[in-house]
Structure 1
Amino acid sequence: MADAAKGEWLSTACNLCYANCGIQVQVGGEGDRHITRVKGDKNHPASRGYTCNKALQIDYYVNGKDRLTSPLRRRDDGTFEEIDWDTAITEVATKMAAIRDEHGGDKIFRYGGGGQGNHLGGAYFSSVRAALGMKYQTNALAQEKTGMAWVMGRMFGANVHGEVHDAQAVVIIGKNPWQSNGYQRARVMIRQIAKDENRSLIVIDPRRSESAEFADYHLAVKPGRDSWCLSAMIAHIIQSDLVPEDWHAEHTSGLEAVRKRFADIDVDAYAEYAGIEPALLKEAAEAVGKAETAASYEDIGLQMAPHSTLNSYLNNLLMMVTGNFGKLHTMAPLTQLVGPFFGFDDVGEEDEDGYEQDYRKSPVTGARIVSGLVPCNTVPDEILTDHPNRYRAMWIESGNPAHSMADSTKWREALRALDLVVVMDVAMTETAREAHYVLPSPSQYEKWEATFFNFEFPKNVHHLRPPVLKPVGNVLPEPEIHARIMDALGVIDPAELAPLKKAAKNGLKAYSAAAMEYLGANPGSFKYLSYILYRTMGAALPEGAEAAALYWGATQRYAMAHEKSLRQAGFEGDGPELALNLFKAILEGHSGVVFAEDNIEDSFEKLRHADNRIHLNVAEMLDEVDGLSDMQDLVEAQDDYDFVLAAGERRSYTANTIIRDPEWRKSNDAISMAVHPDDAIGAGIKDGGKAKVVTKAGEAEVLVAYDDRMRQGTLSLPNGLGLLYPNAQGKDELQGVSVNELTSLANKDKFFGTPHHKFVPARLEAM
């Protein structure tokens, strides 16, 4: 830990959004418990000193009043009592094992496993999952990203990311990076494009967002009609002969099937239906089609809208039809240290017509599983039933589904119907309040931690972070909790691991040799590898860094699979030595390490398909394109609900629910509902006044803020509010509106259950 009197700057990372910018902090204050100063870390290879206003507020996360400081057990009357760790571990392990033995391990469901910045601890759950025979899981990614993951699996079989920083034409859809970041140095990049007359920024968003105000082309699409907008752009490119035929002949399959579906689309009619001037849409399409390089970035504004999966397909198709893959500053496949982030084992094989066959489903509702994740919107229905295969227990780690999933009321009902709910978290969340056992962990700045969102090209970065503060209270890091559960389950005899512990005392090289020998002699132990490494490797690691043991296995696998990328990143050595050199660099690189440097020429070799081609003919999606010709909204208009609510906008002072303390917000903008002035005046509502917003799922009293950047007929509420938090007297008070009290499990994508949070029919009433 740092000596606060010296004002030492310590390297770590911001945990408030996907970008996880490298930052440096000073600690001090009462008990040396506070992060007193924050600045960008210029030594971080990806963020390079950049940070936004949110990072300056992370002390509110570290020192929230609702921090958990001791294990808790629910009493019969619903209140909680503190218990010691031995009791908590023994009872949880015994009860989980009993459910496994009576009903089968597949009846124990897992939710979560890491938030924006804490993925390392969740990775150790793999051993517990194997020991309990668990089969089904989900997390917040299945609330927004599984449609996109399935599309990438079908088209590429690889995780693909846009090189938006250097592309000549950049398409941003369903996202306002000025506020939500989402990629490195977002505001710097937006300004750079705006100043460069040779580059084009195309923003597709119903609202004239801060990002849209910098755009060369702002396509202010009507909510719910993104598919018509994207289809019109693709059709215009095809009909204008802007398709690079030679490139397609060499690198794709299915172009003719695509051409057939788009050749007769009435571009003007589709543009007008999407609410966009046809000439403007055509100009934007041509900016992509004629650019030497183009890249796109999509996010939840697109993925949580009607036609969610189709939207992701069309966004990728726009880039592929124009040949923007496999060359610098376009779309590129990623080399990832841990992962891949989205797995594609669940993607079925295609028949000769391009339709998928033989895919996994959930046990009760038959919902489609993608990347190993059950759709979040189906989970309550997988529980609230007398079906013999219903889930009976849930293990929730670093997640708050009782607040963050659609129809919070039904999620709470489902949690209360389970035989056992165990929550691991930092704070007393809305979900923790529904648990039978609450197991507290340190904050992300009080333990070794890492993030597996590594989406950079050609140089990809990983950042393992040591703690900068001491833990508060009687808490344990997640790897230790998982290891103690494994000890209690008695899966491996501790004496069996003694030789590995002994080898660790002689350093990493000796340990590696002993571990290879052990695994060779005990192949069945691979499923418990995270536990074995954690329990045996400590002596070979820096003091207190046992959580980093997982990297031994990760770097071994990575070096074998991506030797070229690793060597091009500057690493040397033969065989296991190459992996160990990467392992050491990660341990010592407190500002992050470049672990991969890739050649764009190798892109097609990284595709999953045996022919190393991009598969454009995703037949299910092309059928959906045909259906757009009816010009019918997927979510039908309702007389009683004449507004569309976008639930969960990112603003300057919102960060999901990572910071729960309302004091961190510096303006009412963070809690108010944005309404176009004409809409508010028409309803008799003053700027700053109160109103009622009503949906089929519920209603809420809101503070209204006039915003002339809003499209008329639309409303917007921020994410991350509606939390219970102690006031000055220690009594819990509700802070803001929880948008998921207004959303529905039924309003969802028909393929993968992604909720239509950006299209919630609503009514606005004056108070």
Structure 2
Amino acid sequence: AAVIAGARAFASFEDLGVQMNHHSTLVSYLHRLLIVLTGSFGKPGTHFIPTTLVDIGNGESKHTSPVVGARIVGGLVPCNVIAEEILADHPKRYRAMIVEATNPAHSLADSKRMREAMLSLDTLVVIDIAMTETARLAHYVLPASTQFEKAEATFFNFDFPKNYFHLRRRLLAPAAGTLSEAEIHARLCEALGAVNDADLEPFRAAAKLGRSAYAMKMLSLLSDARLGGVAPVVLYRSLDLPEDLREGAVVFGLALRAAMAAPGPLARAGFGGSPLEAACALFDAILTNESGVVFAVDEWSEVRPKTRDRKIHLLLPDLLAELATLPTTTVGAASAEFPYVLTAGERRSFTANTIIRDPQWRKKDADGALRINPDDATALGVATGQSVRLTTRRDSVVVSIEVSPTMQRGHVALPNGLGLGYGNVTAGIAPNELTASEDRDPFVGTPWHKHVPARVERVE
């Protein structure tokens, strides 16, 4: 710590090896303590907080899930408790779900139990571009257009001091029978009576008067609890944009919020004036610049946390209590039944999460071999290309192996993104078939994908 504190610059990064493992929340907390207590924050060469259009998460935990009592942090229910929230004999159990652009029947821990939970729902609606494992279980499937068939963007924009935003235009006409998510959401809200033409007409009229008049009208949503909850639909239905940018209407609301929250950084990027003027100018720049735009220029003197008092709240008693238990805690000790630790989901050169379903794109390791240390392979009497039986508390599978010096003794690894159905073909092992939902972080429920007790046996 003393060396870090005296360094001219310090950067650190944590990744899935600790984030999906025992004590993951505690490790993240200690990581932040290391940054802050060594003074490695808010000055050149150290960590920073950039101005963003959208906050990925606010860290607030005001509620708990109704059945398990799991903390809901930043509005997110821990994925490893969802099946329990559905399958419980509880009056407030989850009974219906809209699943959009995600595949919990394959991509969440304990897949068999998750599928059981999905099938027990009264209503399951899936919005996706593919007939996924989850879509096959649904009562209703609403086919969505792909990212090339609608305007779209990503909000993982963390550049500093200049931060960028890129609204990508539609490149292709949507495939027959598909709609953009924006259109699907709007139609659902209209069918439910949440918004109608009479509600939208004043906003459409304001839009015809120009950006400033429209911005003023949009501010009225701040005091309208009913329409404020469907603001994205109001924007989409009332702001008349070119067809290849139509879904980008929601960005106007984001620009307006950013202009009110961070006028200084936006002004340094060239979007000055009143918040309304800055928002209108920024939105038009986003629409006009097809390769993206610098929307904020930060200064080190303004790098502050977004807490109400603008201070970093280091003292978290529950995590300090957990820290105190470490000297007497033994984590993940090997047992006779499960002597190996399985990394259930390793990034490799031909894995792409589950974005590409067609297995033909994989030019090597098409079936996703189990990687194993040379000494362990010798002890088992197996070599690359041979098959072994891999067993966890949840399931047992037969998989070919790859002997690799990159693996430590006692550790084995399967790649992520495999086990997807494509036509009549299923290539590789779906790692979440082998994981247990109860193996999760006690604070925020993060699954322990990187530490799954396992047994490996030679197949005769």
Shorter-chain TM range is: over 0.9
- Map 1:2-151 → 2, pairs under 5 A: none
Mapping for residues 566-645 of structure 1, pairs under 5 Å: 566-604=266-304, 606-608=305-307, 610=309, 612-630=310-328, 632-645=329-342
Paired residue for 2:46?
A: 330
Q: 1:522 to 1:292 in 2, by over 3 A?
A: closer
Q: Does 1:551 align with 2:251?
A: yes
Paired residues for 1:372-521 under 5 Å: 372-516=75-219, 519=221
One-letter code aligned to 1:756: W
Matched-pair contact (CA < 8 Å) for 1:402–1:430: yes
Alignment of 1:561 with 2:261, yes or no, is: yes
Matched residue type, 1:553:
G
**C-alpha distance after superposition, 1:552-601 (max 9, x if no partner):** 21111110110001011222333411110100111122222211111111
Aligned-pair CA distance for 1:753: 1.4
- The DSSP-based 3-state class of the residue aligned with 2:402 is strand
RMSD of Structure 2 on Structure 1 (CA): 1.8
Preserved contact between residue 294 and residue 324 of structure 1 (Cα < 8 Å): yes
Q: Shift of the alpha carbon at 1:318?
A: 1.9
CA–CA distance in structure 2, aligned partners of residues 572 and 361 of structure 1: 41
Q: How far off its partner does 1:609 sit?
A: 5.2
| Deviation sequence 1:647-706 (CA, Å, 0-9, x none) | 111111111101111111111177111111221121111112111111111111112111
The residue type equivalent to 2:422 in the other structure is: Y
SS at match of 2:400: strand
Q: CA deviation digits over 1:474-517, x for unaligned, max 9?
A: 1000010111111111223313422432443444344334444x
Q: Deviations over 1:121-148 (max 9, x none)?
A: xxxxxxxxxxxxxxxxxxxxxxxxxxxx
Cα pair 2:169 2:244 within 8 Å, conserved:
no
State yes or no: 1:341 paired with 2:56: yes
Query: Is this contact kept in 2: 1:670–1:718, CA < 8 A?
Result: no
C-alpha distance 616-500 of structure 1, shift in aligned 2 (>3 A): closer
Residues 1:681 and 2:384 are matched in the alignment: no
Residue identity matched to 2:238:
T
Measure, in 2, the Cα distance between the counterparts of 1:736 and 1:443: 25
- Residues 500, 625 of structure 1: CA spacing in aligned structure 2 closer, same or farther, 3 A cutoff? closer
1:711 is aligned to 408
CA distance in 2, matches of 1:492, 1:719: 41
Cα separation, 1, equivalents of 2:381 and 2:5: 46
Separation (CA, whole Å) in 1 of partners of 2:131 and 2:66: 31
Distance 1:759 1:580 in 2: 49
In the other structure, the counterpart of 2:428 is 736
Alignment of 1:289-368 (within 5 A): 289-338=5-54, 340-346=55-61, 359-368=62-71
- Checking the alignment, whether the CA contact within 8 Å between 1:653 and 1:670 is kept in structure 2 is no
Q: Decide which of 750, 755, 758 is 2:442's aligned counterpart.
A: 750
Residue 236 of structure 2, aligned match among 527, 531, 534: 534
Conservation of the 8 A alpha-carbon contact between 1:652 and 1:670: no
- Answer yes or no: is the 8 Å Cα contact 1:654–1:670 preserved in 2: no
Q: Tell me the residue number matched to 2:345.
A: 648
**One-letter amino acid matched to 2:19:** Q
Shift of 1:289: 4.5
Deviations 1:228-285 (A, max 9, x none): xxxxxxxxx3xxxx2xxxxxxxxxxxxxxxxxxxxxxxxxxxxxxxxxxxxxxxxxxx
Whichever residue aligns with residue 437 of structure 1, its letter is: Y
Distance in 1, Cα, partners of 2:164 & 2:182: 23
The letter for the 2-side match of 1:342 is: G
Aligned 8 A contact 2:387 2:400 in 1: yes
- Aligned 8 A contact 1:680 1:686 in 2: yes
Decide whether the 8 Å contact of 2:5 with 2:40 is kept in 1: no
Query: Is the contact made by 1:647 and 1:739 (CA closer than 8 Å) also made in structure 2?
Result: yes
CA contact (8 A) 1:307 1:634 kept: no
Structure 1 unpaired stretches of 5+: 1-236, 243-285, 347-358, 727-731
From 718, 723, 736, the counterpart of 2:420: 723
In the alignment, is the contact (CA less than 8 A) between 1:651 and 1:670 conserved in 2? no
Q: Name which of 451, 454, 457 aligns with 1:759.
A: 451
Give 2:453's aligned amino acid: P
Give secondary structure in 2 for the equivalent of 1:395.
Answer: strand
Report if aligned partners of 1:669, 1:705 keep a CA contact under 8 Å in 2.
no
Q: Which amino acid aligns with 1:755?
A: P
CA shift for structure 1 position 522? 4.9
Deviations 1:351-371 (A, max 9, x none): xxxxxxxx4211111111111
Q: Contact (CA 8 Å) 1:460, 1:597: kept in 2 or not?
A: yes
Q: How far apart are 1:707 and its partner, in Å?
A: 0.9
Deviations 1:85-129 (A, max 9, x none): xxxxxxxxxxxxxxxxxxxxxxxxxxxxxxxxxxxxxxxxxxxxx
Give distance in 2, aligned partners of 1:386 and 1:615: 39
Q: Is the 8 A contact 2:441 2:447 kept in 1?
A: yes
Question: Partner residue of 1:691?
Answer: 388
* Cα distance in 2, alignment partners of residues 370 and 290 from structure 1: 35
TM-score, length of structure 1 as denominator length: 0.58
Counterpart in the other structure of 1:90:
none
Q: 1:362 to 1:691 in 2, by over 3 A?
A: same
The one-character-per-residue Cα deviations of 1:457-486 (angstroms, maximum 9, x if unpaired) are 222221111122222221000010111111
Cα distance between partner residues in 1 of 2:285 and 2:319: 44
Paired AA for residue 463 in structure 1:
H
Shift of 1:762: 0.6
CA contact (8 A) 1:305 1:756 kept: yes
Deviation at 1:531, TM superposition (A): 1.3
CA contact (8 A) 1:552 1:583 kept: yes
Q: Does 1:371 align with 2:74?
A: yes
* CA distance in structure 1 between the partners assigned to 2:237 and 2:432 by the alignment: 41
Paired residue secondary structure (1:449): coil
